[in-house]
Structure 1
């Protein structure tokens, strides 16, 4: 597979990975992840593999079935894509052992994706998870 163009990388990230996997909870969106995909943000219950990442996205979607991720900025340099996003949804399912609260939540974060051709091979991620958790655990 040759080098992906900027447009192909953005398409894979925005339409497929965010649009299908994260916004819809559709495991088929994981098709843009390479077989040797590596998640650099370990979460104990989800391995840092392609399969673990897909499982994490599906689990997240059951906790926030209406959450929508909106990409605010995208930068591409060589084989890396950096994106800043915001998301909003309702906490309706279990997240980290916390049953759905029915509360609306907001979240911001930054993704860095490494590409090989048209496939995502690495993911570095930083989100305001503490802010999210305080939204669903506040009295």
Structure 2
């Protein structure tokens, strides 16, 4: 029973990464987000709800890197938590957080933990190399 739940939760997180982050699919986003979702790693000044999460992917990341891809390297699940080690990559053909297009390859390494409740994202924590990538793009 427990094994099935953790496998199902990992599948929810994979679907979010493929359909929401890589493809920008809003329908999938709304299907996968709990209405009480909280992003514990939301940047200062940004909403820590679902609206802040989709804003980051579809209004900041996607316009900067339209060819965005997500590579999942590893997933570990226990109880209702899924930890994923992944790389979000693409070509910076648009402005990214104030940095004009460089045409350079971008690889953002991410480790995140998602609490899944009833097949939906309920809580999120994440660590990324986005700030390192930003400083590389400025040079």
- Asked if these proteins are the same fold (TM beyond 0.5), I'd say yes
Deviation digits for residues 3-62 of structure 1 (CA, Å, limit 9, x no counterpart):
x712221121112x1011111122223121100100111224531101221111102111
1:62 to 2:66 alignment = no
- Name 1:50's counterpart in structure 2: 50
- State how far apart, in whole Å, the 2-side matches of 1:14 and 1:115 are: 12
Structure 1: which 4+ aligned runs deviate by more than 4 Å?
none
Pairwise CA distance, 1:135: 2.7
SS in 2 for 1:25: coil
- State how far apart, in whole Å, the 2-side matches of 1:86 and 1:51 are: 22
Unaligned runs of 5+ in 1: none
- State how far apart, in whole Å, the 2-side matches of 1:97 and 1:130 are: 13
SS in 2 for 1:66: coil
Aligned length: 134
- After superposition, residues 118-129 of structure 1 pair within 5 angstroms as 118-129=119-130
Pairwise CA distance, 1:94: 2.0
- After superposition, residues 68-83 of structure 1 pair within 5 angstroms as 68-83=69-84
User: Normalising by structure 2, what TM-score?
Assistant: 0.88
Unaligned runs of 5+ in 2: none
The question of whether the paired residues in 2 share the 8 Å contact of 1:33 and 1:119 is answered with yes
Change (3 A) 1:130 1:57: same
